[in-house]
Amino acid sequence: MPLDPKQDCCDLQTLNEKVRIANIGDTLFQFLVFEIVEGDEGTLDGAAFSLMRAVRNSLAAAGVKGFEPVVGFEAESMVLSGYVPDTYLDESCIKTSGTGTAVAKFSQPSGVYDISISYAGEKIGEGSLALSVGGRQKLAWRLNEGAACWRRKTIPQIAIQSGDEIQITGVAGGSEGARVDFIEFIPRNLLK
Residues that bind Ca ion (CB under 5 A): 74, 92, 181-182
Residue 10 or 102 with smaller CB distance to Ca ion: 102
* Number of helices followed by number of strands (H, E) in the chain: 4, 10
Q: At what angle do helices 46-61 and 26-38 cross, to 10 degrees?
A: 100
How far is it, in rounded angstroms, from Cα 79 to Cα 101? 8
Backbone angles phi, psi at 50, to 5 degrees: -60, -45
Q: Does residue 51 contact residue 27 with C-beta atoms inside 8 Å? A: yes
Residue 22 or 103 with smaller CB distance to Ca ion: 103
Backbone angles phi, psi at 105, to 5 degrees: -95, 130
Tell me the closest approach of the beta carbon of residue 104 to Ca ion, in angstroms. Answer: 13
Tell me the closest approach of the beta carbon of residue 95 to Ca ion, in angstroms. Answer: 11
Tell me the closest approach of the beta carbon of residue 17 to Ca ion, in angstroms. Answer: 25
Cross-strand bridge partners of residue 91: 88
Tell me the closest approach of the beta carbon of residue 180 to Ca ion, in angstroms. Answer: 8
Residue 74 or 164 with smaller CB distance to Ca ion: 74
Residue 182 or 185 with smaller CB distance to Ca ion: 182
